[in-house]
Every structure is written in C-alpha cells, then in structure tokens.
Structure 1
Amino acid sequence: MDTGVTQSPSHLVKGKDQRAKMDCVPIKGHPYVYWYRKKLEAFEFLVYLWNGKITEDTAMFKQRFSAECPQNSPCSLEIKSTEAPDSALYICASS
C-alpha cells in the first residue's frame, strides 16, 4: 500500500553556482505532480506536471529550474545554478 509521496534526499547542501537535484516518487496512479518551495512562512508554486509533461510553471522556474517525470522513474526537480535565495524547504505533492 502506498502511504504517500516519497522525496529524496531528505537534506541537500550545495554551494553557490552548483546544480541541485531532488527526486520525488508520487503516489501510484497519481498523474499530477506539483513542486513548491517554502521560504519563511510563504509557499511558492514552482511547477506542475501532468502525465510527465510540464503543464504550468513560473517565470522563475523557467529561468533556473528544470523538472521531469519519466515513466516508471522518480520525478525530479533541478536547480541549474544555485543561489543564496534558493535556501528553502522543497515540497513535492501528487494527486
């Protein structure tokens, strides 16, 4: 039985101008995958994918992030070149 979304790694530390990649295994059968980040008290929407394809994203996402959800593989979110403001809690959700 699937108990929920699984993310890895649980912690990720990177220096400036490095790539940072996070994986997410959505609940089986869920075609929608969402990525958010939480900074202080605010959640920021980054992107959502439907059946593995990016359906909606933000200007910030387009500039410095990428996401993919290959069939039968974990979904991923990647920061192409880290900056200090990227320090946040990244959250994956599925539905």
Structure 2
Amino acid sequence: MTDCSDAGRGERRLTVIHVRQYEGDAEVMFVESARIYRLPRRNPAYASVLDVLHAAVASGRPVMVRFDAPNGEQIEWAGETRNGD
C-alpha cells in the first residue's frame, strides 16, 4: 500500500499519472490525489525534476516527491524511491 502521509517537509511516495508543461510552471497529477500540483519553472532543479516525473509516468513506478510544505501543492524535488519504500 502506498503511504500518502506527510513526513518532514512534505515528502511522499507517489505515482505520477500526468505531467503538463506550459510556458511557465508544469502541472503534475498523481494517482493518490485529485489535486493538481505545480513544479515552478523558477525551481533551480526544474529540468532534472521534470525528467524524473516524465520517467515515472513512462515506467509507472512511484517516486519520492518533496513539497514546499506538508499538504503543499508546490513540488521542490522528486527522485527514485529507496528500496523497501
């Protein structure tokens, strides 16, 4: 079962289902939530986080996602889940 509880600064293990890119921020949707989340273009790691999110859509594997705050909607970072997560 996927753990959607907020931990620390809002880091969660989530399954990406869709990423929409516009001229500004990217919008990201996850299986576990009906909300639309944002990856701000001003994020210094924008390109690498976007690559992780697109790869997650293609593979169907969950990723760890850190938000700006618990229950926040702004994505700060995303990366592969650790073994056992």
Same fold flag (TM > 0.5): no
Instruction: Name the structure where strand makes up a greater proportion of residues.
Output: 1
Instruction: Name the structure where helix makes up a greater proportion of residues.
Output: 2
Q: TM-score, normalised by structure 2?
A: 0.33
Higher relative contact order (CA 8 A, sep 6+): 1
Q: TM-score, normalised by structure 1?
A: 0.31
